[in-house]
Structure 1
């Protein structure tokens, strides 16, 4: 894997050390997460964040474990870091960091206090809500180490305040049970029990959200580090509190072994591919319903569109086809009126995307093509054909085939059904009502893939070929525009007319959605260098294509500010790294070079979410990363795009 390592100049400055984040996932949807500097900058940061019934319903437990070194001189040196509502940062342990590294996906810090050198490693026990924090004396005279446990028990999206009920602490052997929800275990436990008030989260303040909370100081552990190699460790876990995990050092060693095995099983071609493979592993989770995909850490749960776009990269490029098979079968069971369920982060099951189902058709087709698993194709074929029938007849939100041209239309008042689905105060920013270009590319691709699956099963595909032929001819006739690229939407309501009114117009804003018209396996068009040149000139950045060309009046170059500002810019110029996959596919078909296309995003692996790829970036230079630091479809499509170079 690539070498991710920082010295004191990065670790010791909050402008750099507190803007680079790490995550260690538990394989269930929970995680441990923080920054290189050790400063918590988000409400989501913590050492034990526990998944609930869905991956999105997470609860923060153990927030931090602050080290303090007792030197032979009697001095007590605090190595933790907190920012307070007053503006103070205290303690400032990051100023004593001489190194941070991410090795085999596990974070490791190294503090130097004169001749005393102490390392910390963090790992989660895969398949359990359990974190291990190990401190080791690397060099210097004997010292004593104290570890102060700051806790809470609250929804990951919120805060807990001191004016509410205190956390309950029940003493047990070697530690305590907090609020009946999770357990702490380590050496020489000394309970305390009072509030730390006014802990500040600078990233939440920057996102226009409530930036502060109060933490419960539960107590501290302590142990002697007499000689190099000695350790003082703490475990925290939820679930079965009576079942004690293995020793913390064993949890760390097991996590390291497993991560190496995950990478080796994928047979990566180089260190970057190995790093992306391990990054992909964090998003594949086991739930009570079987395998699923976390769309992004730290705040997203499972979303069907994200899952299906990510499918090939997360499962087929990493040797996880068996898990992928189970996932596809489970998702197929959610089909209703020809639409795939979109499980919201609220826990509700909704049917509110026009493209999620079409990406599902694509994922099944790719699974069968790549693995040769025709049994799965045969099993899902009736459900997939029912999808086409429902779309032909018409389904929710005006989604249906226009019999006049065979293209797929969509749209209803107040909804945004494509992947560009942001709203501001409930109003869609980009409703894209009509016949969007990528939706119809996916429709045509899906019909062709389904026809092939039908013929493999010995079934008649005449009707599918007829639908495909009509839509293909109409697409080739309708979507090319006079400006040199493809229309983003055809038959869109004219601005002067209400939804469903007349006349219609064709939207020729330069957006990246047209890439799917050239990149899908059964794409309706063959790309040419001139058209891709227009797209690159207006949209391409080092981290991927913008969502809108800068010369458009609606272009927003910064994806910053409060929720309304961020949502307003989300698809109006913000960069989306996942689109590098389709862009690379289109370039290959046009016989354009792609070897240098991923250089920027490869460097990005050590800039924001360490070892991973962010959700978004600013549309204007220097294209600073924004959104979730760890995003499934970004990782999946960059991994898939690079592997296709082989």
Structure 2
């Protein structure tokens, strides 16, 4: 994997160490997460964040485990870091960091106090809500190490305040149980019991959300580090509190072995692919219903569109087809009226996308093509045919195939945003894209061809599907090319001066990246030509992928910053989306344009924001600073998939 390591100039400055984040997932949707400096900058940061009944319903448990070193002289040096609502940062243990590294996906800190060097390693027990934190004396000593446990039990999306009841902390052998929800275990536990008031999260402040929280100092562990090699370790776990996990050092060693196995199974061609393969593993989780995909950390849960868009990169490129097969079967069972269920982060099951089912068609087709698993294709054929039949007959939200041209139209219901550009501000869609969006119809053409091939593999008659495909392809070629030199983003859209569903209609020629799918999909409706693709690249392409709107277009927003309304207003109005690098690379490759240099920026990005991973979004304006989730499934999946196609 690529070398991710920082020295004191990054670790010791908050402009560097507090803006780079690490993630250690537990395979269930929970995680440990924080920054290089140790400063918690998000309310989502913590050493034990526990997934609930869905991957998005997470609770923060163990907030931090703050080390303090007591030297033989009696001097006590605190190695933790907190920012307070007063603006103070205290303690400032990051100033004693001489190195941070991410090795085999696991973070390691190294503090130096004169000749005393202490390292901390952290891992989670895969498949269990359990974190292990190991502190090791590397040189110097003897010293005593105190570890102060700051705790809470709250929804990861919120705060807990001292004006409510204090967390219930019950003593047990070797530690304590907090709120009956998670257990702490380590050496020489001393209960404390005190609110730490006004813990400040600077990233939440920057996002226009409530930035302050109160946490409970439950107590501290303590142990002697007499000679190099000695350790002081702490375990924290949720679930079955009576089932003691393996020793902390064994948890770390097991996590390291597993991560190496994940990388080896993916058969990476180079260090970047190895890093992306391990990053992809973070999003594949096991729930009570089977495998699923977390769309992004730290705040997203499972979203069917993201899951299916990411499918090839996360499962097929990582040689996880058996898990993928299980996932596809489970998602097929959620189909209703030709639409795939979307499990919202609230836990509700909703049917509110026009493209998730079409991406599902694509995912199944790619699975069978890549693996030769025709049995799965045969099994899912009725469900896939049901999607096409529902679109032909018409389904929710005005989604239907227009009998006049064989193309898919959508969005006949006020207030809906059914494509991936689904942001709303105060309930009003920013980009409703009512009519016939370009990528929806590219996916429709692609899906019809994929389904026709699966039908023929099963020995069926696909003549009608091929007829539908030919008609939609011809209509696409006639309708979507625009006089301005690229493809329309939407055709047959209601004119802005008329109410939704009114007339006359117009064709929207804003320069957006959705048209890339018209050239990139396996059964794309068009072949790309070099001049058109170069015009698209000139307006959209950045080092981290295409913008969602070109800078010279009406409504362009160059910074994805500010409060929720401001951020949502710019979400698809110029913000960069790294996942679109995959479709762009495919289109460029088909147009015989060079593609290897397209990955340079995103590869460098692997050490800039979410360490070893790819962010959800970035500013459209230079220097294209990363925004959104630091760890995003379809960003990783599409970059990994596009790189592997080069082989």
TM-score w.r.t. length of structure 2: 1.00
Runs of 4+ in 1 over 2 A off after TM superposition: none
- Structure 2 residue 608 is the aligned partner of structure 1 residue 585: no
Per the TM alignment, residue 633 of structure 1 is displaced from its structure 2 partner at its CA by 0.1
Match for residue 556 of structure 2?
A: 555
Per the TM alignment, residue 462 of structure 1 is displaced from its structure 2 partner at its CA by 1.4
Distance 1:296 1:382 in 2: 31
Per the TM alignment, residue 166 of structure 1 is displaced from its structure 2 partner at its CA by 0.8
Match for residue 473 of structure 1?
A: 474
Describe the superposition over 1:379-426 as per-residue Cα deviations: whole angstroms up to 9, x where unpaired. Answer: 000011011010000000000000000000001210000000000000
Distance 2:369 2:259 in 1: 28
Q: Where do 1:42-441 residues align within 5 Å?
A: 42-411=42-411, 412-441=413-442
Distance 2:323 2:141 in 1: 50
Distance 1:629 1:391 in 2: 36
Match for residue 27 of structure 2?
A: 27
Distance 2:266 2:541 in 1: 29
Match for residue 523 of structure 1?
A: 524
CA RMSD of aligned residues (A): 0.4
Match for residue 465 of structure 2?
A: 464
Match for residue 456 of structure 2?
A: 455
Per the TM alignment, residue 32 of structure 1 is displaced from its structure 2 partner at its CA by 0.0
Match for residue 640 of structure 1?
A: 641
Describe the superposition over 1:112-131 as per-residue Cα deviations: whole angstroms up to 9, x where unpaired. Answer: 01110000000000000000
Distance 1:327 1:299 in 2: 22
Distance 1:477 1:627 in 2: 37
Distance 2:467 2:414 in 1: 32
Per the TM alignment, residue 465 of structure 1 is displaced from its structure 2 partner at its CA by 1.0
Distance 1:543 1:114 in 2: 41
Per the TM alignment, residue 588 of structure 1 is displaced from its structure 2 partner at its CA by 0.8
Distance 1:245 1:474 in 2: 61
Q: Where do 1:493-532 residues align within 5 Å?
A: 493-532=494-533
Distance 1:600 1:567 in 2: 25
Distance 1:367 1:600 in 2: 30
Describe the superposition over 1:297-336 as per-residue Cα deviations: whole angstroms up to 9, x where unpaired. Answer: 0000000000000000000000100000000000000000
Distance 1:84 1:382 in 2: 58
Distance 1:592 1:497 in 2: 42
Q: Secondary structure at the match of 1:389?
A: helix
Distance 1:640 1:570 in 2: 24
Describe the superposition over 1:46-101 as per-residue Cα deviations: whole angstroms up to 9, x where unpaired. Answer: 00000000000000000000000000111000000000010000000000000000
Distance 2:252 2:354 in 1: 43
Match for residue 543 of structure 2?
A: 542
Per the TM alignment, residue 194 of structure 1 is displaced from its structure 2 partner at its CA by 1.3
Per the TM alignment, residue 218 of structure 1 is displaced from its structure 2 partner at its CA by 0.3
Distance 1:492 1:437 in 2: 11
Q: Secondary structure at the match of 1:598?
A: helix
Match for residue 484 of structure 1?
A: 485
Distance 2:210 2:440 in 1: 37
Match for residue 40 of structure 1?
A: 40
Q: Which sits farther off after the overlay, 328-337 or 461-470?
A: 461-470
Distance 1:234 1:130 in 2: 11
Distance 1:293 1:175 in 2: 34
Distance 1:308 1:511 in 2: 22
Q: Secondary structure at the match of 2:598?
A: coil
Distance 1:24 1:158 in 2: 21
Describe the superposition over 1:422-442 as per-residue Cα deviations: whole angstroms up to 9, x where unpaired. Answer: 000000000000000000000
Q: Secondary structure at the match of 2:319?
A: coil
**Alignment: residue pair count:** 646
Describe the superposition over 1:519-558 as per-residue Cα deviations: whole angstroms up to 9, x where unpaired. Answer: 0000000001100100110000000000000001200000
Distance 1:168 1:420 in 2: 44
Distance 2:544 2:315 in 1: 23
Which residues of structure 2 form unaligned runs of 5+? Answer: none
Distance 1:329 1:56 in 2: 22
Distance 1:119 1:182 in 2: 25
Per the TM alignment, residue 597 of structure 1 is displaced from its structure 2 partner at its CA by 0.5
TM-score w.r.t. length of structure 1: 1.00
Per the TM alignment, residue 141 of structure 1 is displaced from its structure 2 partner at its CA by 2.1
Q: Secondary structure at the match of 1:547?
A: coil
